[in-house]
């Protein structure tokens, strides 16, 4: 998803940073006659971006670990990042011009200084400075990295996002003269919609971390019943406990059906090869439960209280399922 976010927002990158990219690539490329010499400025500029994005992502993630963000804090960060991307998508579509005031701009004095750099070294330095630009999608991803609460995960998140922006940004720097304004305009419309969708997806992940399942609620409002999984694990009462066992899958969680007022002992079986970086931590927002999973049997204990249906999700908000309390 982060790679896709970078890929789809790269049109915005061209709109905001295209002039900076051209100033580096054109300024150096003209000094070289061979192909490698002309590619070098664009390569150095984008290399600087990768280094900057990755380090800033790591710093943001490390900062998040120091402050030990609560589950609520992580959900708010994801919702904020999603909202930022939605606003950016709307701005790209020119639907609500007034929203442009919410998107930060690079100071004119700084852009003039950046444009004046004409050396290969300058292209790399400019790429490094790119990570500090007041760019909507970039700041949204930095906020996301903060929510990971890990230096490595934050760095990897920003690295993946930056990789997504590379194909179009690199091509723009090298083949800018071949891109027509008509083509750019058409691509802008398509990617604007995709950015909107990604923003909604990211916002929904934040809501899931808060225990709010908007997808099911929307389907219920419009009169569509959500598809029921026939592999629901039902609790069995034994010796004063209700026992239920589910099997972990790489990309899905099993629905669970339990009873209210009886202590629950939930065993999650994680087989070798089915545990990954996304599904390795389960969160039950309604009861404030966070459980790291390891290969083998993992036990979660709590007492369901109110009848109803609650959501449980992975720590990233990408995988979710339900617990039905009867």
The CATH number given to whatever domain includes residue 243 is 2.60.40.420
Q: How far apart (Å, rounded) are the C-alpha atoms in residues 230 and 232?
A: 6
Q: What's the pLDDT tens digit per position in 142-193? A: 777 887 788 998 899 899 988 888 887 777 666 654 555 566 566 667 767 7
Gap between the Cα atoms of 239 and 252, Å rounded: 30
Q: Where residue 9 falls among pLDDT bands split at 50, 70, 90?
A: low
pLDDT attached to residue 219: 44
pLDDT, position 295:
93
Residues 215-258 have pLDDT tens digits of 655 544 444 444 445 589 999 999 889 999 999 998 889 999 99
Number of neighbouring beta carbons within 10 Å of residue 263: 11
**DSSP letters along 202-250, please?**
HHHHHHHHTT--HHHHHHHHTT-PPPPPTTPEEPEEETTEEEEEEE-BT
Query: What percentage of the chain has pLDDT greater than the value 90?
Result: 21
271 and 178 co-located in one domain: no
Report the run of H or E that residue 4 belongs to, with start and end. helix 2-29
- The residue range of the domain holding 315 is 229-325
| 49 class by beta-carbon count within 10 Å (0-12 exposed, 13-18 middle, 19+ buried) | buried
Same domain, 55 and 142: yes
**Is residue 120 included in any domain, yes or no?**
yes
Q: Is residue 286 part of a domain?
A: yes
In this structure, the answer to whether residues 180 and 279 fall within a common structural domain is no
Distances (CA, A) of 255 to 13, 160, 190, 294: 41, 31, 36, 20
Same domain, 172 and 86: yes
Region of 275 please: left (phi>0), alpha (psi -120 to 50) or beta.
Answer: beta
**Residue 221 falls within a domain, yes or no?**
no
Pairing type for strands 320-325 and 308-314 reads antiparallel
* pLDDT tens-digit map of 244-300: 999 999 888 999 999 999 999 999 999 988 988 778 889 998 898 888 899 999 999
Model confidence at 1: pLDDT above 70: no
One domain for residues 61 and 160: yes
Q: What is the pLDDT of residue 129?
A: 76
Compute the distance between CA of residue 103 and CA of residue 16 in angstroms, rounded to an integer. 11
Same structural domain, 134 and 270:
no
Beta carbons of 84 and 201 less than 8 angstroms apart: no
Q: How far apart are CA 116 and CA 121, in angstroms?
A: 13
**Co-location of 198 and 319 in the same domain:** no
Model confidence band, residue 45 (pLDDT cutoffs 50, 70, 90): confident
Listed residues 179, 210, 241: the one ending a domain = 210
> Is 50's pLDDT higher than 80?
yes
Q: Of 159, 178, 210, which residue constitutes the final position of a domain?
A: 210
Q: Are both 127 and 257 inside the same structural domain?
A: no
Please check whether residues 139 and 10 belong to one and the same domain: yes
Q: Is the confidence at residue 134, as pLDDT, over 60?
A: no
Which of 163, 178, 210 lies at the terminal end of a domain, its last residue?
210
């Amino acid at each position: 998803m982060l790679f896709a976010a970078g890929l789809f927002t790269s049109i915005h990158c061209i709109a905001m940073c295209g002039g900076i990219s051209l100033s580096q690539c054109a300024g150096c490329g003209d000094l070289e006659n061979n192909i490698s010499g002309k590619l070098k400025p664009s390569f150095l500029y984008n290399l600087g971006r990768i280094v900057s994005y990755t380090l800033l992502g790591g710093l943001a993630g490390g900062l998040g670990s120091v402050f030990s963000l609560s589950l609520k804090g992580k959900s708010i960060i994801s919702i904020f990042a999603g909202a930022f991307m939605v606003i950016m998508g709307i701005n790209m579509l020119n639907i609500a011009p007034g929203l442009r005031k919410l998107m930060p701009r690079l100071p004119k004095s700084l852009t003039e200084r950046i444009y004046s750099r004409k050396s290969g070294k300058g292209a790399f330095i400019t790429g490094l400075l790119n990570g500090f630009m007041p760019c909507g999608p970039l700041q949204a991803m930095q906020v996301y990295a903060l929510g990971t609460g890990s230096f490595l995960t934050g760095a990897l998140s920003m690295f993946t996002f930056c990789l997504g922006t590379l194909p179009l940004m690199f091509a723009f720097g090298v083949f800018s003269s071949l891109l027509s304004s008509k083509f750019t305009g058409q691509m802008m419309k398509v990617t604007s919609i995709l950015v909107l969708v990604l923003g909604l997806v990211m916002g929904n992940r934040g809501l899931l971390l808060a225990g709010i399942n908007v997808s099911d609620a929307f389907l219920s409002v419009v009169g569509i019943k959500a598809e029921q999984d026939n592999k629901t694990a039902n609790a069995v009462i034994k010796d004063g406990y209700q026992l239920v066992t589910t099997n972990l899958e790489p990309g899905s969680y099993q629905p669970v059906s339990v009873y209210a007022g009886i202590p629950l002992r939930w065993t999650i079986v994680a087989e070798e090869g089915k545990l990954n970086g996304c599904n390795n931590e389960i969160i039950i927002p309604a009861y404030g439960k966070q459980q790291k999973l390891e290969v083998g049997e993992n036990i979660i204990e709590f007492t369901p209280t109110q009848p109803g249906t609650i959501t449980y999700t992975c720590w990233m908000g990408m995988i979710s399922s339900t617990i039905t309390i009867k």
